[in-house]
Amino acid sequence: MAAGGLTTKKIDSIEFGLLSPDDIRKMSIAQIVVADTYDEDGYPISSGIMDTRLGVIDPGQRCKTCGNRVGNCPGHFGHIELARPVMHAGYAKVIHKVLRAICRECNRILLTDEEIEYYARLFKKYPEIGQKTANLSKDILKRAAKAKACPHCGEEQLKLKLEKPTSIYEVSEAGSVRLTPIDIRAKLENVTDDDYRLLGINPEAARLEWSILTVMSVPPVAVRPSITLESGVRSEDDLSHKLIDIIRINQRLRENLDAGAPQLIVEDLWELLQYHCTTYFDNGVSGIPPARHRSGRALRTLAQRLKGKEGRFRSNLSGKRVDFSARTVISPDPNLSMNEVGVPEQIATILTIPQRVTEWNLEEMKALVIRGPDRHPGCNYLIRSDGRRVDLRFVKDRSIISDTIEPGFIVERHLASGDIVLFNRQPSLHRMSIMAHEVRVMPYRTFRLSLFVCPPYNADFDGDEMNLHVPQSEEARAEARVLMRVQEQILSPRYGGPIIGALQDYISAAFLLTRKSTLYTRNKVNQLLATAGYEGELTPPAIIKPVPLWTGKQIFSMFIPDGINISFRANVCRKCTTCKKEDCEYDSYVVIRDGNITFGVIDEKAFGAGEPDSLFHRIIKEKGSTTARIFMDSVGRLLVRLITDRGFSMGLDDVTLPREASRRIKIILEKADKKVNQLIETYQRDELDANPGQTLLETLEQRIMATLAEARDSAGAVAGEHLGLDNSAVIMAQTGARGSRLNLSQMAAVVGQQAVRGERVSRGYMGRTLPHFERGDLGARARGFVASSYKSGLDPIEYWFHAAGGREGLVDTAVRTSTSGYMQRRLMTALQDLKVETDGTVRTAPGRIVQFKFGDDGVDPSKSDHGRSVNIDIAIEKVLGKSKVSREA
Amino acid sequence: MSKSTVIAHMEKRFSKLRDEHRLPPKVLNELEEKVTDIGLTKKEFDEICDNVIDSYERALVEPGEAVGTVAAQSIGEPGTQMTLRTFHYAGVAELSVTQGLPRLIEIVDARKNPSTPTMKIHLADNIAEDRNAAKRIARDIEMILVESVASNISIDLLRQAIDIRFDPELMEDKALTVEIIAEAIKAKIKAKGEVESGDNTIFVYPTGETLADLQRLSEKIREVRVKGIDDVTHVVIRKESDRYVLYTEGSNLQDALEIADVNPHKIYTNNLKEIYQVLGIEATRNAIIQEAMSVLNEQGMDVDVRHIILVADMMTADGAIRQIGRHGISGSKNSALARAAFEVTIKHLLGAGIAGTKDPLKGITENVILGQLIPLGTGSIDLLMNPQGSLSKK
C-alpha cells in the first residue's frame, strides 16, 4: 500500500490491563444519570442512555462530540457514578484469594519479611531462566493463606468464604459476617505495589481494587444500536436494557441513601445493583438466575458477545468477511484444464481487478472504460490519480471520461479469462481445499471445474456450491500463482503422492483403450489425438496390413513423456500366488519403458486420484508439475472423447444371472440357513463349546455371523463366475473406477447380513426384532439376514432390516464429522504456530525448539517420494540406464 | 580399473558422507546396501551419490514452512473417514481394542487411562517356544480375585464367620491351593479377622462382632487378589511364528516387568501414562508415534510419519505429556488473545487484565485478529527496501 502514498504501521505488542476509576472518568464524555432512551418526539434524552454525545446511529444526525455523521463518528464513552461500589463477578475469585493472603488488619502479605525477600529474589530470577512467575504467585497465595496470625502485626486471621458469585464472608467463631465491597476495597487499596507484584498482579496495569467498581463505563451507542421495526417501534439492544436497569437501581439507591433510608432497604438495593452489574458483564454466571428479556429469552450481555463459536473472537476476529468473492453451484466441464475454473459472465462483470493505467495499456483501458460496467470485458470503477473514485454506473457519457484517463489512474476492470483467482469448497479440511485457478469466463450461471480437482475439494455435482475470491494486489496474485495453483498442489503433503488424478469414467475409458483387443484405424486415431490436442509425431502403426492399425497402448503412450520407466501391478491384478509378471494373462503387470507402455493396462493404479507410486506420480516427480498437468489434461480429453464415442453404461442386464446360477445361490443360502438352525439347536441343547473368553451366546452369534458371511461370499463367487469383463459393472469394479466386487454381488446375488453396532439386529420388540417372528427366534431371517439381491428386490421384512442398517450408517457419519472436526480444531490451535526456521529447527511462536530437524530428517513430506526422502532405486536406474544405453551404442 | 580400487573408493566416500552428515543415516544405509555388489565403475558410483545427495537436498523443507498446520490437517482430514466403532484386535478375537477415531482422540488427549488398556508380552528367549512356560507366566500375570475361583462366598451366621468354598476345577486350572489363598487373605485383612483353611474351604472369623462388620469384610475378601498383577484381568496366549506371546486385557507395565521370564526388551503397552512413568519421556514420544501410526494404518489411512512425529514432539517437548487442547498445549500458549480465541474466552481475558500481560504478537491467531500479516511462509520474511532511494542513485 506504500504505493498509494499511505504508510502502514505494524502493531508490535498489546498490553492488557484494567481501567482505573480515574481512567473511566477521563475517557468519558458524559455522565449518564437518566434511565431512559428517547423522548416523545423520538429524540435522544440528554444524559440518558442514548445521549447524542455518545455518538449517533441514525442517519442524518450529527454527533455532539465530534460533529461527524454515522459511519465516521467512532462513538464515545460515557460513565455512571455508582452510589455504592460493586464487585466485578469475574474477579471475585481473585479477590477472595488475595484477601486470604493478606492480613485483615495491616493488609500486608501473610509471610515473614524473610520469606517475602526470598520470593522477591526468585521473582527477579525466574524470567531470566525462562520460568513463569505465575507459578510463584500461586505458591505465595497458597502459603500465605495458611498463616494463622499476621507475622507483621500479630493480628489473628479469620477464615474467608466465597459465596458465589460475589459475596465474601468472614467466618469466626461468633458467626460469619459479610464483607461489603466497601470493606474489601478499603483493604485492597492498602496493599502495596510490591505486595501486589508478588501476588501476580501487575500494579502498573491493574490494581485489584479497580475490580471493585465505583464508576462504570457506558459504551457508545454504536456498540448497542437500537433497531426500528417496521411498525415504527424502537427495539433496544440487550446491553442498553441492562444499562437502563443499572442506572435505575443506582438512582434509587442514591435517593434512598440521601433520604437516610433504613439499612435493610439500602442493602437490598445494593444487592440488586450488584446483580445488575454482574449480569451486565456476564449473564451466564452460575449461582444467579440469568437476566431475561420480557419474552423470557436470556439477555446477550458482554461476555456472551465474546464467547463461543458465534462470539466476537471466533466469528469476527479469527474469521472475517471479505469483499471480491462469489459463490454459486458447481458443475463439471471435462474440456477445462485442471488449472482453470469456468466463471459465469454475470459474476465476471461484478468482480473486479484494479489495474494501473500505464502508457502501454492506455488504449486497452480506455476501451474497457467505454464498454462500461454492464458489458463483459468492461470496467466498474475508475480511480483517478488524486484518489477520487468514479462509479461508472452513474456516468452518462463514458467516452468523455475515457478521454481523461492518463497513466497513474487505476481502472477496476472486470474479471477476465487468464486472471488468477482462489477457489474454495467447505469444509476446508486441508490446504488443497483452497487452490488458485485461472479464470475462463463462460456463459450460464455455474462455476465450471475440471473433474481432476474433485478429489482434493471432495466435490461432486449434486448441488455443491463453491466460493471464489479475487486477489487484489500484485503480490497476492504472484503468490497465488506460484504457490497455490492447482498443478503445484498435485502432490499431497499428507503422504507424498498425487491427490489429484483420474476418476470414474476416465479410468474405465483408459482400461478400454489400453486393453489388448483395442485397435484403431488411422481415421479414429487422428480424431482422438485431435481432441486431445496432440501435436507430436504419429508413432508407426502396430499392424500395417491389411490396413494400418494402432493399439490403444500406442495411443496412450504418445502422451507419456519420454524417459519414464516404471513397472507395477494394475488394479485388475488377481493377486495370484506366483506372479507371472510380463506374461500375466490378464495383462495386469504394467511395464512402461521410456514413456511407452510395453505391457499391461492403464487403470486406477496407473493414474487414479490418491494413488502413490503410480505412473502419474512418476511423471510429476521426474518431469515436474507442468508436464504432469499437460499429461493429465490431454489424456483426460482423449478418454472423454473415447468413452463418449464408444458409449459406456450399465443396466439390469449387467446384474442378471442365468437361472442356473440363481439356483446354485439359492442352494448355498438354504444350506447356510440349515447350518445356522443346527448351530442354534446345539446351543439350545447346551452342547455348544464356548470360545475361550466368550459366553455361549457370544460364541453362537459369532459362528452364525461367520456362516452367513461365508454363504454371502460363496454366493458372490457364483455370481462372479457369470459376470465377465464384457460386463460394464465388472469393468468398473475391476479397474477401480467405481463400485466394488461386494457391491456387485449384493446387486446380483445376495445383499447379506444387516448389522447394527457390529452385531446382528437384535432389538425391537420384547425378545424379538419384529412381531412376525416368535420370541427368541435366533434364525438368520429373524435377525436381519437379507437373502434377496437388490435386483430381485427386498421383501418388507428385509427392507426393514436394511433400513435399520442404513440408518446407523447415517447417524455414524453425522457423529463422526462433529467429533473429528473438533479434534482437527484442537490439533490446529495446538500446532499452528510451529514454523521451520532458517536454521532448520522447528520452533513455536515464542521461539522454543520443538524439533532440531523437521521429521528427524528435515524432509518435506510433499516433496518426498511417498514418505521416502530419496528414491534410491530411481537414482541408480537413472545413472545406469543412461550408461547402459551409451554402452550399447 | 580393478574392483578393489572401486570398493576402496566407495568406502572412502561413504565414510566421508557419514562424517559430514549430508544424508540421513537411513538413506545412507540403503544406498550402501543397494550400491555394493552390482559392479559399478567409479564414475557411475560417484554419479549415483551426487544424484542421491541432490535429490535429498531438493526434498528438504523450506524455512518458514507452516509444518504445524500441515501436520494438523494431515491428521485431521482423514479423521472424517475413520470408523467410530471398537473393533476386535486383529487375530485375537477375545480382546477388543478401541480403534479408529476414538483411539486417535484418546492419544492426542493424552488420557490418563485408555478405554481398553492392553499389553503385549514376549517371553524370555530360552522359553519362548514352550507352551507350558507361556501358560505358567500367563498364570503369574493374570489377576485372580478370591471371588473368581470361589464357587460360593456366604456368611455363616451360626459360626459368625465368612464361608468361602472353592471350585476345585478352577483352582487346578489356575494352579492355586487353599493355602495360597488363605495367605493372601491373611495379608490383606491383617488383624481384622482370623483365617482358618480347610479342605477346599476357608472360614474367616472377623474380630468385629456386628453383622455389618461381617458384611464389610466379606465384600473385602471377594476383592482380595490371590495371584497375578493388578489391573490385568485377562491373558490370552497366542502363537506367533513359533513363539508364544501373551496379550493382556488391562495394563500394568511396572509389575509386568518384574515378572520372571518375561522379555523386558519387547514388552509393550498401549497405556502412554505408564510408559511415561516407567520408561520416561523419550519412550513416551516413541509410543505416541507408534500408537498413532498403528491406528491410522489399521484404518487404511496413508499419513506420513513426520506429521505424527511433530505432534508427538510437541506433546512431549517439555518433559511431561501435554494434551492437545485447552488443558495442555493450547492452554499454555503465551498469547492471551490466542488462548481467548480457542476456548474459555472470558477467563483468559480477565486473567490477562489483572496480570497486566504483554502480548508479543508472535503467533498466528493474534496477528489474524489484528488483521496483520502472519509470521509464516512468505509472511515470515521482511524485505527492507527503499524504491525511491535506489532510483535516485541511478
Question: Are A666 and A806 contained in the same domain?
Answer: yes
Virtual torsion, Cα A187, A188, A194, A195, nearest 10 deg: 70
CB-facing half-sphere around the CA of B12: CA atoms within 13 A:
9
User: Is pLDDT of B359 > 60?
Assistant: yes
B365/A815 Cβ within 8 A = no
CB contacts of B63 in chain A (<8 Å) are: 836-838, 840
Residue at grid coordinates 451366546: A697
Q: What confidence category does residue A1 fall into, taking pLDDT thresholds of 50, 70 and 90?
A: very low
User: Is pLDDT of A882 > 60?
Assistant: no
Query: Mean pLDDT across the stretch A191-220?
Result: 90
At A155, the amino acid letter reads E
- Cβ–Cβ contact B340 with A under 8 A: yes
Closest-approach residue (CA) in chain B for A201: B355
Instruction: Please check whether residue A305 lies inside any domain of the structure.
Output: no
- Cβ–Cβ contact A855 with B under 8 A: yes
Closest-approach residue (CA) in chain B for A881: B44
Question: Are A750 and A632 contained in the same domain?
Answer: no
At A400, the amino acid letter reads I
Closest-approach residue (CA) in chain B for A457: B77
Looking at the partner chain, which of B34, B68, B371 has a beta carbon nearest the beta carbon of A876? B34
For Cα atoms A773, A779, A782, give the angle at the middle one, nearest 5 degrees.
40
The residue among A268, A145, A303, A280 whose CA lies nearest residue A213 is A280
Q: CA-to-CA distance for A562 and B159, rounded, in angstroms? A: 96
Domain extent for A134 = 89-211
Question: What pTM, to 2 d.p., does this model score?
Answer: 0.90
User: Tens digit of pLDDT for each residue in A11-57?
Assistant: 999 999 999 999 999 999 989 988 888 888 878 888 888 888 888 88
A815/B84 Cβ within 8 A = yes
User: Tens digit of pLDDT for each residue in A243-294?
Assistant: 999 999 999 999 999 988 898 999 999 999 999 999 999 998 888 889 888 8
User: Tens digit of pLDDT for each residue in A697-749?
Assistant: 888 888 888 899 899 989 988 888 888 888 899 999 989 899 888 899 899 88
Instruction: Please check whether residue B316 lies inside any domain of the structure.
Output: no
A206/B67 Cβ within 8 A = no
Which B residues in the span 221-250 are in contact with A, Cβ-Cβ below 8 Å? 234, 236
Closest-approach residue (CA) in chain A for B60: A859
- Cβ–Cβ contact A779 with B under 8 A: no
CB contacts of B304 in chain A (<8 Å) are: 493-496, 855, 861, 864, 867
Q: CA-to-CA distance for A452 and A468, rounded, in angstroms? A: 18
Per-residue cell: A654: 449387467
Of A630 and B180, the one with more pLDDT: A630
Instruction: Please check whether residue A66 lies inside any domain of the structure.
Output: no
CB contacts of A612 in chain B (<8 Å) are: 302
At A396, the amino acid letter reads K
Domain boundary among A594, A623, A646: A646
Edge-first strand order for the sheet with A352-356 is A352-356, A410-414, A379-383, A389-391
- Cβ–Cβ contact A886 with B under 8 A: no
Inter-chain CB pairs, A–B, below 8 Å: 336
Domain boundary among B43, B58, B73: B58
Helix (H, G, I), strand (E, B) or coil at A495: coil
Question: Are A573 and A476 contained in the same domain?
Answer: no
Instruction: Please check whether residue B218 lies inside any domain of the structure.
Output: yes
What ipTM describes this predicted complex? 0.90
pLDDT at B369: 93
DSSP A241-263: HHHHHHHHHHHHHHHHHHTT--H
Instruction: Please check whether residue B365 lies inside any domain of the structure.
Output: yes
A858/B359 Cβ within 8 A = no
**Which of A694-703, B343-352, B381-390 tops mean pLDDT?**
B343-352
Question: Are A731 and A862 contained in the same domain?
Answer: no
User: Tens digit of pLDDT for each residue in A309-368?
Assistant: 888 999 999 989 999 999 999 999 999 999 999 999 999 999 999 999 999 999 999 999
Is the separation of the CB atoms in A714 and A707 below 8 Å? no
Report the gap between the CA of B200 and the closest CA in chain A (Å).
25
Instruction: Please check whether residue A312 lies inside any domain of the structure.
Output: no
pLDDT at B260: 81
Contacts of A182 (CB under 8 A, 6+ apart): A84, A85
- CATH number of the domain that B355 lies in? 1.10.150.390
- Cβ–Cβ contact A94 with B under 8 A: yes
- CATH number of the domain that A509 lies in? 1.10.274.100
Question: Are A840 and A769 contained in the same domain?
Answer: no
- CATH number of the domain that B191 lies in? 3.30.1360.140
Ramachandran area for residue A103 (φ above 0: left; ψ -120 to 50: alpha; else beta): beta
User: Is pLDDT of B26 > 70?
Assistant: yes
**Which of A120-134, A871-885, B206-220 tops mean pLDDT?**
A120-134
Instruction: Please check whether residue A252 lies inside any domain of the structure.
Output: no
Instruction: Please check whether residue B196 lies inside any domain of the structure.
Output: yes
In a mutational test of the B interface, the residue from A304, A828, A843 whose CB has the highest number of chain B CBs within 10 Å is A828
Q: Please state, as a whole number, how many other Cβ atoms lie within 10 Å of the Cβ of residue A377.
A: 17
Q: CA-to-CA distance for B342 and B348, rounded, in angstroms? A: 10
- Cβ–Cβ contact A290 with B under 8 A: no
pLDDT at B321: 92
Instruction: Please check whether residue B149 lies inside any domain of the structure.
Output: yes
User: Is pLDDT of A2 > 60?
Assistant: no
Is the separation of the CB atoms in A533 and A549 below 8 Å? no
CB contacts of A201 in chain B (<8 Å) are: 354-356
- Cβ–Cβ contact A562 with B under 8 A: no
Contacts of A244 (CB under 8 A, 6+ apart): A35, A36, A37, A49, A236
Q: CA-to-CA distance for B255 and A756, rounded, in angstroms? A: 39
Domain boundary among B58, B77, B93: B58
Q: What confidence category does residue B139 fall into, taking pLDDT thresholds of 50, 70 and 90?
A: confident
B330/A824 Cβ within 8 A = no
Percent of chain A whose predicted confidence (pLDDT) is above 90: 47
Virtual torsion, Cα A216, A222, A225, A230, nearest 10 deg: 160
Radius of gyration from C-alpha coordinates of chain A? 38
User: Tens digit of pLDDT for each residue in B239-261?
Assistant: 888 888 888 888 888 888 888 88
- Cβ–Cβ contact B77 with A under 8 A: yes
For Cα atoms A88, A91, A92, give the angle at the middle one, nearest 5 degrees.
85
Report the gap between the CA of B259 and the closest CA in chain A (Å).
23
Domain boundary among A613, A646, A679: A646
Question: Are A726 and A846 contained in the same domain?
Answer: no
Domain extent for B197 = 144-227
Question: In this structure, what DSSP letter does residue B247 have?
Answer: E
Q: CA-to-CA distance for A180 and A185, rounded, in angstroms? A: 9
Instruction: Please check whether residue B92 lies inside any domain of the structure.
Output: no
CB contacts of A481 in chain B (<8 Å) are: none
Query: Mean pLDDT across the stretch A781-792?
Result: 91
User: Tens digit of pLDDT for each residue in A658-682?
Assistant: 898 899 999 999 999 999 999 999 8
For Cα atoms B85, B91, B96, give the angle at the middle one, nearest 5 degrees.
35
Compute CA A353 distance to the chain's CA centroid, rounded to the nearest angstrom: 28
Question: Are A487 and A566 contained in the same domain?
Answer: no
Closest-approach residue (CA) in chain B for A89: B350
Closest-approach residue (CA) in chain B for A197: B355
- Domain count within chain A: 5
Q: CA-to-CA distance for A534 and A550, rounded, in angstroms? A: 15
B66/A430 Cβ within 8 A = no
Q: CA-to-CA distance for B270 and B247, rounded, in angstroms? A: 12
- CATH number of the domain that A363 lies in? 2.40.40.20
- Cβ–Cβ contact B85 with A under 8 A: yes
Question: Are A494 and A513 contained in the same domain?
Answer: no
- Cβ–Cβ contact A478 with B under 8 A: no
Dihedrals phi, psi of B112, to nearest 5 degrees: -60, -50
- Cβ–Cβ contact B293 with A under 8 A: no
Which A residues in the span 607-646 are in contact with B, Cβ-Cβ below 8 Å? 612
User: Tens digit of pLDDT for each residue in B99-128?
Assistant: 888 889 999 998 888 888 888 888 888 887
Closest-approach residue (CA) in chain A for B342: A829
Instruction: Please check whether residue B293 lies inside any domain of the structure.
Output: no
pLDDT at A693: 66
Looking at the partner chain, which of A18, A831, A857 has a beta carbon nearest the beta carbon of B354? A18
Helix ranges restricted to H, A685-759: 696-722, 728-735, 741-748
A837/B63 Cβ within 8 A = yes
pLDDT at A886: 40
pLDDT at B94: 63
pLDDT at B85: 63
B336/A16 Cβ within 8 A = yes
The residue among A610, A605, A603, A632 whose CA lies nearest residue A731 is A603
User: Is pLDDT of A752 > 80?
Assistant: yes
Question: Are A594 and A700 contained in the same domain?
Answer: no
Per-residue cell: B351: 486473567
User: Tens digit of pLDDT for each residue in B261-276?
Assistant: 888 888 999 899 999 9
CB contacts of A842 in chain B (<8 Å) are: 67-68, 310, 313
Helix (H, G, I), strand (E, B) or coil at A455: helix
Looking at the partner chain, which of B35, B350, B363 has a beta carbon nearest the beta carbon of A833? B363
- Cβ–Cβ contact A667 with B under 8 A: no
Instruction: Please check whether residue A513 lies inside any domain of the structure.
Output: yes
A11/B372 Cβ within 8 A = yes
Question: Are A513 and A604 contained in the same domain?
Answer: yes
A832/B68 Cβ within 8 A = yes
User: Tens digit of pLDDT for each residue in A381-391?
Assistant: 999 988 889 99
pLDDT at A558: 92
Query: Mean pLDDT across the stretch B214-238?
Result: 81
Which A residues in the span 799-828 are in contact with B, Cβ-Cβ below 8 Å? 812, 815-817, 819-821, 823-824, 826-828
A832/B72 Cβ within 8 A = yes
pLDDT at A351: 95
Q: CA-to-CA distance for A616 and A560, rounded, in angstroms? A: 9
- Domain count within chain B: 3
Of A415 and A308, the one with more pLDDT: A415
Report the gap between the CA of A317 and the closest CA in chain B (Å).
5
Mean pLDDT across chain A? 89
Query: Mean pLDDT across the stretch B277-295?
Result: 93
Q: What confidence category does residue A835 fall into, taking pLDDT thresholds of 50, 70 and 90?
A: very high
Least confident residue range of A434-438, A721-725, A850-854? A721-725
Question: Are A636 and A657 contained in the same domain?
Answer: no
CB contacts of B345 in chain A (<8 Å) are: 303, 306-308, 311, 313
B104/A823 Cβ within 8 A = yes
In a mutational test of the B interface, the residue from A93, A834, A839, A856 whose CB has the highest number of chain B CBs within 10 Å is A834
pLDDT at B389: 67
Query: Mean pLDDT across the stretch A402-410?
Result: 90
Instruction: Please check whether residue A220 lies inside any domain of the structure.
Output: no
The residue among A518, A505, A526 whose CA lies nearest residue A647 is A505
Instruction: Please check whether residue B182 lies inside any domain of the structure.
Output: yes
Which A residues in the span 416-435 are in contact with B, Cβ-Cβ below 8 Å? 429-431
CA distances B300 to A310, A609, A824, B305, Å, are 36, 16, 19, 14
Mean pLDDT across chain B? 83
A12/B310 Cβ within 8 A = no
Domain boundary among B184, B211, B227: B227
Question: Are A534 and A549 contained in the same domain?
Answer: yes
- Cβ–Cβ contact B327 with A under 8 A: no
Domain boundary among A160, A187, A211: A211
| Count of helices and strands (H, E) across chain B | 18, 13
CB contacts of A829 in chain B (<8 Å) are: 330, 338, 341-342, 365
